[in-house]
Amino acid sequence: MSSHAVTYALLHRRSSRAFFLARPTQHVESFRVAREVVRALAALGALIGWGGVCFLLGG
């Protein structure tokens, strides 16, 4: 029984600590937008790269 009480206390302490370390909502949103822009640029670069490879092979 005492081990369950210790586990619950540790989980409760972790969740409250994570809450205080969480980023503000606006900062998280701008980070997500920036990450999606980088992913879109990487996908576009990959598409252009494959197009170049196909152009050279078909050449």
What average pLDDT does range 27-50 have in this prediction? 93
DSSP string, 19-46: HHHSPPHHHHHHHHHHHHHHHHHHHHHH
| CA 3 – CA 6 distance, rounded (Å) | 5
Place of tokens 């980088």: 38
Does residue 17 belong to any structural domain of this protein?
Answer: no
Does residue 42 belong to any structural domain of this protein?
Answer: yes
Q: Is 0.95 surpassed by the pTM of this model?
A: no
Place of tokens 């969480």: 22
Q: How many domains does the chain have?
A: 1
pLDDT surpasses 70 at 7: no
Does residue 1 belong to any structural domain of this protein?
Answer: no
Does residue 14 belong to any structural domain of this protein?
Answer: no
| CA 31 – CA 43 distance, rounded (Å) | 18
Does residue 18 belong to any structural domain of this protein?
Answer: no
Which residue range(s) make up the domain with 38?
24-59
pLDDT at 41: 98
Does residue 40 belong to any structural domain of this protein?
Answer: yes
Mean pLDDT, the chain, whole residue set: 77
